[in-house]
């Protein structure tokens, strides 16, 4: 006899089954506690006293330095090393390739410290967690039985300043890295390994000698061609007419493009290609027959890196039946699918990030509930997580339910290399990171590393704090700065940092990043006609939609998918349950309304609040040059100067419109980095994305604050304010 639904319900929640469920939950909690305890113990195994740092001789721009010192930031040696060497699922190229690859113009290894230092990453010596001596933030990632070289958080968020041969390493500080230059150099080196007979022979031999993932020369050659094509594709899609140089990256623009590449459907690509025209706007670039030949055997649903590379190769092919497009026409096609990442910003510093209510330069990401996991997932999408997104037949899954795909004829399966568990652990790890304290003889610290730094720098007159100036500067800070940049206790465990948002029309700084985040659009693929909940209500994702909607849907799908397909499925399920519980119950940041002077979202403009920039506490700001969100001002002192406008007196002092970036040599007077007299990257504040305008508080161009005009700072007052900022 069949059972009724009511009977099944009562059976499910019988006392016996409830007892079983309680026992399972207790067992689950016990197993997770043991796993976490083992993880914490393992985390402390690498305790190299130098934290892997090493001295550099014959450094870039003539900057030699001794083994870097560390300041008191709340982390021990093993805390730093675990942060440097914990994978998040990034996979740039096969690991064996990175180890065996030579530089394009030399026979030296690509991974040589000289090249790493050239692009301003930080060389390291071998340690327990890093036996191959990879640079800070480079790590071996294992995925589906293969090893890859990838980036960790530390690659972009570990800084260093030098002074007369002595270096200070800044955990969580902004990197000075030139990622675009590094990836361009990587593409050149891989292309030479593919096309130069001698280099190719050595490369294949050296990869096979590693005895790791490759056993036959044919496999190496096949993958070398495949991965060279992928790196070329990435660089081509993300080419920008705005040069980033050192210390900046348009991370959001690149994340947006990577999502679009993996979401767009074959139908949408076909529509784009059929509609593409020449410069006259009337003549089609290709015929329907040519388009269909280009798309022959291309997936109906998800396309991704390799198939996109194949499409590009076919579009440019001069073989019979293909369009044979040149570079000018290819650029037209590219702009129909992707957006130019032309809004580079400084790498943000990470101390206090776990205690912040909203993060990203324009406050795009809430830090409440699942916010940190979604934010970090989006970051790994941008730094080469392997996105094995495929289409499967209609069925039920949490990811399809949350992304609105339940009623679709097919649904995206968000399998990937992204390590959600490690992302959660890294976010928790950052809770104990504190901002760096200016090294001065007067701090009275008990931290031995800070004492060492204090003894060296505190003895130098130019590093000593003038406390008479500090007292005057504190009053000026309260008058001119504190309404936006609150003063916090850097060690207060219960601190919450409230982002103070300023409308871009009010703050006046370069608009590119904020406007791109809202205005960039792309093809939504299988997310078309799904619903997305925003603060103003539910929005329908259109065929061509704001990329912020598409990114939100993609990261939601990733987070709702059981992590790490390499693990046994019960372990994946346990990890996922742990992540969900941790996000909701261990995250002390609760959902809240944004603070500040910004335009609120409306039903007509649901992302209007993102046309703002965030002001945050300035503790540790001395170690984060260059300044403003786009790195357009070389020092704190220069930031207190106005931008010269037509009609301003010639004899006045103004922000520099040109300066050199790339040196780590610190200026302890103005608080910045060396900005002239060496052959680094020449920054010019002359185009959108590079403008150094705005944030002119305390200058002759100061906007009213709360309706009241501000008196310009005198030169002596500027120096008092700089002196106080050193102490934050």
Q: What Rg do the C-alpha atoms of the chain give, in angstroms?
A: 27
Residue that has been written with the tokens 């007419």 in this structure: 241
Q: What is the pLDDT of residue 302?
A: 65
- Cβ 513 vs Cβ 252: under 8 Å: yes
pLDDT of residue 12: 40
Look at residue 277 and give its three-state secondary structure. Answer: strand
pLDDT of residue 10: 42
Q: How confident is the model at residue 62 (pLDDT cuts 50, 70, 90)?
A: very high
DSSP string, 476-525: HHHHHTTTTS----TT-TT--BPPEEEEHHHH----HHHHHHHH-EEE-G
Give the pLDDT score at 298.
87
Q: pLDDT per residue over 80-132, tens digit each?
A: 999 999 999 999 999 999 999 999 999 999 999 999 999 999 999 999 999 99
* Strand-by-strand arrangement of the 612-615 sheet: 595-597, 500-503, 612-615
At 308, the pLDDT band (50, 70, 90 cuts) reads confident
Least confident of 159-163, 382-386, 624-628, 672-676: 382-386
pLDDT-based confidence at 27, cuts 50/70/90? low
Tokens 């720098």 belong to residue:
457
pLDDT score of 54 more than 70: yes
- With CA atoms as reference, report the closest residue to 684 among 60, 246, 241, 243: 243
pLDDT for position 46: 86
Query: Residue 506 to residues 359, 485, 572, 704: CA-CA distances in angstroms?
Result: 20, 16, 48, 9
Average model confidence (pLDDT) across the chain? 90
Q: Residue 698 gets which letter from DSSP?
A: T
> Among 146, 48, 159, which Cα is nearest to 625's?
159
User: Is residue 313 over pLDDT 70?
Assistant: yes
Taking only the tens place, the pLDDT of each residue in 171-202 is 999 999 999 999 999 999 999 999 999 999 99
Q: Distances from the Cα of 658 to the Cαs of 60, 346, 652, 699, in angstroms?
A: 21, 17, 17, 20
3-state helix vs strand vs coil in the chain, percent to 5: 40, 15, 45
The CA–CA distances, whole Å, from 344 to 490, 509, 687 equal 28, 13, 12
Q: What is the 3-state secondary structure (H, E, C) of 36-99?
A: HHHHHHHHCCCCCCCCCECCECCCHHHCCECCCEECCCCCCHHHHHHHHCCCCCECCEEHHHHH
Give pLDDT, residue 373: 84
Residue 415 DSSP code: -
CA distance readout (Å), 644 to 148, 494, 619: 49, 43, 29
Percent of the chain surpassing pLDDT 70: 91
- Look at residue 8 and tell me whether its pLDDT is greater than 50: no
Q: 11 falls in which pLDDT band (50, 70, 90)?
A: very low
Q: What angle do CA 59, 232, 224 make, to 5 degrees?
A: 90
3-state secondary structure labels for all residues of 541-560: CCCEEEHHHHHHHHHHHHHC
- For 325-361, what is each residue's pLDDT tens digit? 999 999 999 999 999 999 999 999 999 999 999 999 9
Residue 37: the pLDDT is 59
- Contact between residue 254 and residue 237 where contact means Cβ atoms under 8 Å apart: no
Q: pLDDT digits over 442-473, tens only?
A: 777 888 999 999 999 989 999 999 999 999 99
pTM of the model: 0.92
**Does residue 139 have a pLDDT over 80?**
yes
Q: Which of 165-169, 336-340, 423-427 has the lowest mean pLDDT?
A: 423-427
């Amino acid at each position: 006899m069949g059972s009724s639904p009511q009977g099944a319900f009562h059976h499910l929640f019988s006392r016996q089954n409830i007892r079983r469920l309680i026992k399972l939950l207790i067992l689950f909690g016990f197993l997770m506690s043991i796993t976490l305890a083992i993880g914490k113990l393992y985390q402390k195994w690498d305790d190299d006293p130098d934290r892997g740092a090493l001295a550099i001789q014959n450094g870039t721009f003539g900057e030699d330095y001794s083994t870097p010192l560390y300041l008191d930031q709340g982390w021990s040696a093993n805390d730093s090393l675990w942060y440097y060497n914990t994978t998040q699922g990034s996979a740039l190229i096969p690991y064996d390739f990175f180890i065996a690859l030579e530089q394009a113009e030399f026979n030296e290894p690509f991974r040589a410290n000289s090249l790493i230092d050239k692009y301003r990453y930080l060389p390291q010596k071998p340690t327990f967690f890093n036996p191959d001596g990879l640079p800070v933030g480079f790590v071996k990632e294992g995925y589906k039985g293969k090893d890859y070289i990838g980036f960790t958080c530390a690659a972009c968020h570990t800084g260093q300043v030098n002074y007369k041969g002595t270096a200070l390493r800044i955990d969580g500080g902004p990197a000075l890295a030139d990622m675009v230059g590094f990836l361009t150099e990587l593409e050149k080196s891989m292309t030479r390994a593919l096309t130069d007979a001698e280099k190719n022979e050595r490369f294949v031999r050296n990869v096979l000698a590693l005895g790791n993932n490759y056993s036959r020369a044919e496999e190496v050659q096949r993958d070398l061609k495949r991965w060279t094509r992928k790196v070329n594709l990435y660089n081509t899609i993300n080419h920008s007419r705005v040069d980033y140089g050192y210390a900046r990256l348009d991370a959001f623009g690149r994340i947006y493009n990577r999502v679009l590449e993996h979401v767009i459907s074959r139908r949408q690509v076909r529509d784009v290609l059929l509609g593409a025209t020449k410069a006259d706007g009337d003549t089609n670039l290709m015929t329907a027959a040519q388009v269909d030949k280009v798309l022959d055997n291309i997936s109906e649903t998800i396309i991704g890196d390799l198939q996109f590379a194949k499409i590009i190769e076919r579009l440019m092919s001069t073989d019979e039946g293909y369009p044979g497009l040149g570079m000018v026409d290819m650029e037209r096609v590219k702009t129909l699918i992707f957006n130019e990442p032309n809004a580079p910003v400084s790498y943000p510093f990470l101390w206090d990030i776990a205690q912040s209510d909203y993060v990203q330069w324009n406050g795009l990401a809430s830090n409440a509930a699942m916010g940190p996991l979604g934010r970090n997932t989006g970051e790994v999408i941008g730094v080469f997580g392997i996105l094995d997104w495929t289409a499967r037949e209609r069925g039920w899954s949490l990811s399809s339910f949350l992304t609105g795909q339940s009623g679709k004829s097919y649904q995206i399966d968000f399998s990937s290399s992204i390590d959600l568990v490690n992302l959660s652990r890294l976010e928790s790890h950052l809770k104990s990171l504190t901002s760096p304290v200016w090294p001065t003889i007067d701090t009275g610290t008990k931290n031995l590393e800070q004492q060492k730094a204090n003894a060296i720098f505190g003895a130098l007159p130019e590093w000593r704090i003038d406390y008479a100036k500090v007292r005057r500067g504190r009053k000026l800070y309260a008058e001119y700065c504190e309404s936006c940049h609150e003063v916090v206790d850097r060690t207060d465990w219960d601190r919450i940092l409230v982002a103070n948002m300023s409308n871009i029309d009010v703050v006046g700084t370069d608009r590119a990043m904020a406007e791109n985040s809202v205005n960039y659009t792309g093809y939504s693929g299988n997310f078309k006609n799904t619903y997305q909940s925003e603060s103003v209500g539910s929005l329908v994702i259109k065929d061509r939609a704001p990329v912020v909607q598409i990114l939100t849907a993609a990261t939601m799908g990733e987070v709702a998918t059981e992590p790490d397909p390499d693990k046994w499925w019960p372990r994946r399920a346990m990890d996922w349950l742990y992540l969900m519980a941790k996000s909701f119950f261990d995250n002390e940041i609760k959902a809240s309304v944004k603070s500040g002077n910004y335009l609120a979202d409306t039903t007509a403009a649901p992302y209007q609040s993102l046309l703002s920039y965030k002001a945050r506490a300035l503790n540790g700001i001395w170690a984060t040059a260059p300044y403003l969100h786009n790195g357009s001002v070389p020092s704190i002192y220069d930031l207190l100067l106005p931008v010269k406008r037509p009609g301003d007196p010639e004899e006045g002092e103004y922000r520099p419109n040109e300066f050199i970036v790339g040196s780590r040599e610190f200026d302890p007077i103005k608080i910045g980095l060396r900005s002239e007299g060496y052959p680094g990257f020449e920054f010019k504040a002359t185009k959108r994305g590079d403008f150094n305008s705005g944030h002119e508080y305390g200058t002759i161009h100061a906007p009213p604050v709360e309706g009241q005009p501000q008196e310009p700072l005198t030169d002596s007052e500027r120096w008092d304010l700089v002196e106080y900022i050193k102490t934050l």
